[in-house]
Amino acid sequence: MITYAHFPVLAVMGLFFGAFLVEIFGSRSKAVRNFIAIVTAAGAFGLIAALIKPVMLDGEVISYWMGNWEPVSGYAIGIGYEIDQLGLFFALLIVTTFLLSGFYSLRYMERDHHLGHYYTLYLMLSGSVLGLSLTGDVFNMFIMIEIMTFAAVALTAFRNESRGALEAAFKYLVVGSIGSSFTLAGIALLYAQCHTLNMAQLASILAAGLTPTTLFAFALMFTGLAVKSYIVPFHAPAADAYTTAPTSISMVFSGMVNKAGVYGMIRLVYVIFRAIDLPAMQMLLACFGTVTMFVGVTMALAQHDFKRLLAFHSISQIGYVITSAALGTGLGLTGALFHAMNHTLFKGLLFLCAGAVLYAAGTTDLDRLGGLSKRMPKTTVCFLIGAFSISGLPPFNGFVSKWIVYQSIYAKAVETHNFAYAFITIVAVIVSVMTLASFIKVTQAVFFGQLPASCAQVREVPLSMRIPMWIMSVLCVLTGVFYDFVNEHLLHPAVKAAFNATGYIDAMMGEGYAAAAGVANVEVAPVEFSYWNPILWLVLFVVMLVAVFFVILTGRNTRGRVLEETGAPADGKYATYFSGEKSMPSHVGGSDLFWGFKHDWKSYFTVMQGAHSGVVNDYALWAVFGGAVVMLFMFTFLR
């Protein structure tokens, strides 16, 4: 037995064991509690990072049977863990997120009480999401989803005296339990048909074709995982939870909890059911993704709270990931995984900055903040890096991944002659523009503009909170500049693994099992950055910037003269008044920078804000409605 095969299980169990230890020993001493939490999180990080060499670089797939219950005569009995490149890719995102979040919460959470419970829940959340990404058993996946939901709900309600925390937790629990119930019902129906719970064996059995029962199971599981990845009809409680949870946990939600849902959907559609080749399936996912990115970004434009705005952007960015993964091409999945990774980095960074603002100024209300760049210059720099990344400005990472996403959707439109994909490309670009607009608003409202008197005493946050922010910022720039390296060593193996169901099945069930079941491989060509090389576009961007400056410079001499010719006086001292008083300049609030746009789209915003009514029955209705749409669609088009 090779030793590193035990690492994934040790990482997951270590986190759960750490949760127990914190609960037993951590309630009295702060030092013991912090030590246990950080050591277990760092230990899990080390164990997962040690797998990069054998799995990512050497291309090995690790299979691990709990208690050594190996398959008997082709039937998987025991619970198996299977770590292929796709799972490890998401596991790496997860361990990075929770390690940085844990380090950040040491200082960020110090003013709260009962921190022993906080770290217990934090370690349980980390362990469950990590387990979800590494497991090879659908029922184990369900257990991990449930633990994840519990821990996430409890952490959302952790600051239960603050505004709305309890109701956000309750709504999250109700909608989340609908999703879990759907997943469990789907798993039960799958077991009824296939008599196994192992993902690899399920994949080989389902390759023979879908019966109505397995199709129904697929629809149920798809809905359940869609609830966990917060795509649009299921997103409303997530926005509340992101807003009211402690910010270190909001970062964990956006960095790994919704990534777990995305991972589950990719695993389900690409490997277990292998339905991604069907055009109807691609269309369903692409529609969900497009609606998600559009609704997310427009709702973000209407927000007045820093964290709630980031929450809607988080939902919007997941739309990009889903749309790109929907295409079923190597390029599309590369874009999806790259954007998922970048979203973890830049959205985590932005949430950390929001947390820093909350820590220093005591509020995240955009109307009560302003001018913080003078008080918190280092946080401002980090925030700008994150904002540039999410808006897709070169040379930051968001540009590269969004560029691949546009390319892949457009290539799909050319390939299939389907007008819908061309339309989706346009929507994706427009959403990106709106993201930029929204971040101009936030930057203006929080970091620039006038410093209100209530923020005059604000000081920069302590160093131990800035270190995770700097690490995230550096990663944002590095993955944007060395995208080729990232693609070669992380993305391409993961993409290959997603299409390579044969390798996944054979590693678990024994050599030749997949071939006997009639599962074929899909070859994926490595992505070449030749003609969509982002550096070329960076050069074009610079050239255009120079051209704009040139135009401004040539226009400078005439600018003043035009004013004089029209006779507009420089100051109002000698102006003529007919009646009334001199008009006062009215101050447009920081959060209303795009009031004109909002005014033009008033009917849309009225409908959407009415739909986010805050009533838990409505949100549950949305979730059930989304599930019904998925089922109807699948039974109409996938049979």
Residue among 48 and 168 whose Cβ is closer to other proteins: 168
Residues from 125 through 144 that contact other proteins (CB under 8 A): 139, 143
Site membership for other proteins, residue 170 (CB under 8 A): yes
Q: Which strand (E) or helix (H) includes residue 82?
A: strand 80-83
What is the C-alpha separation between 361 and 427, in angstroms, rounded? 37
What is the C-alpha separation between 389 and 477, in angstroms, rounded? 8
Using CB under 8 A, which of 29, 181, 454, 558 touches other proteins? 181
Using CB under 8 A, which of 32, 49, 185, 535 touches other proteins? 185
Site membership for other proteins, residue 164 (CB under 8 A): yes
Quote the least distance from Cβ 121 to other proteins, whole Å. Answer: 12
Site membership for other proteins, residue 562 (CB under 8 A): no
Phi-psi region of 520 (alpha: psi -120 to 50; beta: other; left: phi over 0): beta
What is the C-alpha separation between 398 and 401, in angstroms, rounded? 5
Residue among 302 and 326 whose Cβ is closer to other proteins: 302
Main-chain phi, psi angles of 494, to 5 degrees: -65, -40
Quote the least distance from Cβ 524 to other proteins, whole Å. Answer: 35
Q: In the structure encoding, which two tokens stand for residue 433, read together?
A: 């523009």
Site membership for other proteins, residue 188 (CB under 8 A): yes
What is the C-alpha separation between 206 and 519, in angstroms, rounded? 9
Q: In the structure encoding, which two tokens stand for residue 376, read together?
A: 């918190």
What is the C-alpha separation between 19 and 13, in angstroms, rounded? 10
Instruction: Report the b/e string of 88-107 with b at 16+ CB within 10 A.
Output: bbbbbbbbbbbbbbbbbbbb
Residues from 600 through 639 that contact other proteins (CB under 8 A): 609, 612-617, 620-621, 624
Closest of 195, 64, 238 to residue 134, by C-alpha: 64
Residue among 179 and 398 whose Cβ is closer to other proteins: 179
Site membership for other proteins, residue 363 (CB under 8 A): no
Contact in structure between 55 and 73 (CB atoms under 8 Å): no
- Sketch the per residue contact string, 231 through 250, with other proteins: x for CB under 8 A, - otherwise: ---------x--xx------
CB within 8 A of 265, min separation 6: which ones?
222, 225, 226, 229, 285, 322, 325
Using CB under 8 A, which of 153, 217, 256, 458 touches other proteins? 153
What is the C-alpha separation between 164 and 565, in angstroms, rounded? 57
Q: In the structure encoding, which two tokens stand for residue 167, read together?
A: 């109701």
Residue among 39 and 621 whose Cβ is closer to other proteins: 621
What is the C-alpha separation between 20 and 26, in angstroms, rounded? 9
- Sketch the per residue contact string, 82 through 121, with other proteins: x for CB under 8 A, - otherwise: ----------------------------------------
Residue among 81 and 388 whose Cβ is closer to other proteins: 81
Angle, vertex CA 610, rays to CA 440 and CA 315, nearest 5: 45
Quote the least distance from Cβ 112 to other proteins, whole Å. Answer: 16
Quote the least distance from Cβ 113 to other proteins, whole Å. Answer: 15
Contact in structure between 527 and 487 (CB atoms under 8 Å): yes
Site membership for other proteins, residue 173 (CB under 8 A): yes
- Sketch the per residue contact string, 189 through 228, with other proteins: x for CB under 8 A, - otherwise: --xx--x-x-------------------------------
Half-sphere exposure at residue 579, Cβ-oriented, CA atoms within 13 angstroms: 0
Would you call 417 helix, strand, or coil by DSSP?
coil
Quote the least distance from Cβ 150 to other proteins, whole Å. Answer: 6
CB within 8 A of 109, min separation 6: which ones?
115, 118, 246, 248
Residue among 299 and 337 whose Cβ is closer to other proteins: 299
Residues from 296 through 315 that contact other proteins (CB under 8 A): 302
Residue among 77 and 414 whose Cβ is closer to other proteins: 77
Using CB under 8 A, which of 86, 88, 148, 169 touches other proteins? 169
Number of residues that bind other proteins (CB under 8 A): 41
Half-sphere exposure at residue 376, Cβ-oriented, CA atoms within 13 angstroms: 34
Site membership for other proteins, residue 475 (CB under 8 A): no
Residue ranges binding other proteins (CB under 8 A): 139, 143, 146, 150, 153-154, 157, 160, 163-164, 166-170, 173-174, 177-178, 181, 184-185, 188, 191-192, 195, 197, 240, 243-244, 302, 609, 612-617, 620-621, 624
